[in-house]
C-alpha cells in the first residue's frame, strides 16, 4: 500500500456515529470507488487499507460490533468458491457479498427456469433463461462492487473443480443432489480446502463443515455407493424459508472458518425442521 493512498483514504474519511453513540472514522462507498479507480485496484483493497488504518468502510459499519476492523479486513482478503447458484447458492452469495468477503469463484452451468422463482434470489423474471454464474456476477456487481467475482458457466466435474477450488480459502457446497456433493467433497479434500455443506428437502435441512482430514459427508449420507436417487427433495421440493435459513447457517460457518473461530459444525450437524421448529446439533463422531 502506498503512503499516498493511505493519505488519500485518511483525507476522505469522515466522522460517523454508530447507533450506540460511538464515533468512528468512516469511508463512504463513493470514495472507495473513486480511490479504486485512481489507483487501479479493486475496491476491497482500498477497504482493507482503510480498515488497517482504523477507518471503517461505511457499507460495513453495521458489521463493526460483531467483526473487529482486523476481522473485517481478513474477510475482505479471503475468497470463497460457491458451487451451485440455485436456492442455497444465491442466498449464500447475497449474504457473503454484503458481509464483505473479498473474492468469489462461482460455478454453475445451469440456466434459470420458472420453477426456480420460489427460492432462488438470482432468479427473477428478467433472468429466466440466463446462466446462473453470469447472473451471480451481475448481482454482486450491484450489491457490492468492491468485491471481485469470477464466474464459471460450467457444471462441476472431477476434472475442472480442483483447479478452481485451489484458488480460494473455503468452498461452499450449494448443490442440489447428493451424488455431486461427494464429487465436490473429493475435490475440496484434494485441494486441501474446508467445505461448508448444507442441504434441504421440504421443511427439513442440515448443515455441516468438513475439513480435509475429516470423514465428512459419509457421516450424514452413508457410503456414496449405497445411494439411490438424488435425495428426499425430489419428493418434497425446496420451499424458500428452509433454503434461506440453511444458507444463513452456511454463511455463518464460512465466517467461523475464515476467522478461525470455535464452535464449528465440524463432525457435527445442525439438523433443522421448520414444521415443528426442531433445531438440534448432532454429534456425528
Partner 1 sequence: MSDCANPGDQFFSTVLLMTAHIALKLFASLKRYTPAQADRFSITPGLTIADLLKELNVPLAEVKLVFVNGVKQDMNMPLKDGDRVGIFPAVGGG
Which cell is 14 given? Answer: 469522515
What DSSP line would sit under 130-197, residue for residue? SBHHHHHHHHHHHH-TTSEEEEE-S---HHHHHHHHTTSSEEEE--SSHHHHHHHHHHHHHHT--EEE
If the CB atoms of residues 30 and 118 are measured against partner 1, the closer one turns out to be 118
Q: How near is the Cβ of 15 to partner 1 at its closest, in Å?
A: 43
Q: How near is the Cβ of 256 to partner 1 at its closest, in Å?
A: 20
Q: How near is the Cβ of 81 to partner 1 at its closest, in Å?
A: 15
**Euclidean distance between CA atoms 134 and 128, whole angstroms:** 12
Cα–Cα–Cα angle for 65, 71, 77, rounded to 5 degrees: 135
If the CB atoms of residues 19 and 235 are measured against partner 1, the closer one turns out to be 235
Dihedral angle of Cα 204, 210, 215, 218, to the nearest 10 degrees: 30
Q: How near is the Cβ of 135 to partner 1 at its closest, in Å?
A: 16
Taking 3-state DSSP, the helix, strand and coil percentages for the chain, each rounded to the nearest 5, stand at 45, 20, 35
**CB distance 161 to 184 below 8 Å:** yes
**Euclidean distance between CA atoms 24 and 19, whole angstroms:** 11
Q: How near is the Cβ of 258 to partner 1 at its closest, in Å?
A: 21
**CB distance 132 to 121 below 8 Å:** no
If the CB atoms of residues 166 and 273 are measured against partner 1, the closer one turns out to be 273
Q: How near is the Cβ of 196 to partner 1 at its closest, in Å?
A: 12
Q: How near is the Cβ of 276 to partner 1 at its closest, in Å?
A: 8
Q: Please state, as a whole number, how many other Cβ atoms lie within 10 Å of the Cβ of residue 143.
A: 14
If the CB atoms of residues 10 and 110 are measured against partner 1, the closer one turns out to be 110
Phi first, then psi, for residue 5 (nearest 5°) are -65, -45
If the CB atoms of residues 165 and 199 are measured against partner 1, the closer one turns out to be 199
If the CB atoms of residues 211 and 221 are measured against partner 1, the closer one turns out to be 221
Binding site for partner 1 (CB under 8 A): 84, 86-89, 174-178, 181, 198-202, 204-206, 219-222, 226-238, 243, 246, 269, 271, 273, 275, 278, 280-285
Which cell is 203 given? Answer: 421443511
If the CB atoms of residues 41 and 219 are measured against partner 1, the closer one turns out to be 219
Amino acid at each position: 500500500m502506498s503512503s499516498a493512498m493511505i493519505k488519500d483514504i485518511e483525507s476522505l474519511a469522515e466522522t460517523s456515529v454508530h447507533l450506540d453513540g460511538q464515533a468512528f472514522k468512516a469511508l463512504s462507498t463513493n470514495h472507495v470507488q473513486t480511490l479504486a479507480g485512481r489507483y487501479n485496484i479493486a475496491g476491497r483493497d482500498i477497504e482493507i487499507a482503510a480498515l488497517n488504518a482504523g477507518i471503517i468502510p461505511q457499507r460495513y459499519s453495521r458489521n463493526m460490533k460483531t467483526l473487529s476492523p482486523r476481522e473485517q479486513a481478513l474477510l475482505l482478503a479471503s475468497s470463497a468458491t460457491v458451487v451451485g447458484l440455485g436456492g442455497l447458492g444465491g442466498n449464500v452469495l447475497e449474504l457473503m457479498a454484503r458481509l464483505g468477503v473479498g473474492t468469489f469463484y462461482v460455478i454453475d452451468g445451469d440456466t434459470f427456469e420458472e420453477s426456480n422463482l420460489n427460492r432462488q434470489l438470482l432468479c427473477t423474471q428478467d433472468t429466466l433463461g440466463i446462466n446462473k454464474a453470469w447472473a451471480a456476477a451481475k448481482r454482486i456487481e450491484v450489491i457490492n462492487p468492491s468485491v471481485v467475482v469470477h464466474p464459471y458457466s460450467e457444471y462441476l466435474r472431477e476434472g475442472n473443480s480442483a483447479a478452481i477450488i485451489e484458488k480460494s480459502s473455503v468452498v461452499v457446497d450449494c448443490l442440489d443432489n447428493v451424488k455431486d456433493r461427494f464429487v465436490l467433497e473429493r475435490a475440496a479434500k484434494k485441494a486441501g480446502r474446508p467445505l461448508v455443506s448444507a442441504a434441504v428437502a421440504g421443511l427439513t435441512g442440515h448443515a455441516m463443515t468438513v475439513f480435509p482430514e475429516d470423514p465428512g459427508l459419509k457421516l450424514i449420507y452413508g457410503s456414496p455407493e449405497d445411494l439411490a436417487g438424488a435425495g428426499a427433495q425430489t419428493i418434497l421440493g425446496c420451499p424458500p424459508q428452509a433454503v434461506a435459513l440453511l444458507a444463513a447457517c452456511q454463511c455463518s460457518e464460512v465466517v467461523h472458518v475464515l476467522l478461525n473461530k470455535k464452535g464449528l459444525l465440524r463432525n457435527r450437524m445442525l439438523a433443522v425442521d421448520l414444521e415443528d421448529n426442531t433445531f438440534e446439533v448432532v454429534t456425528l463422531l
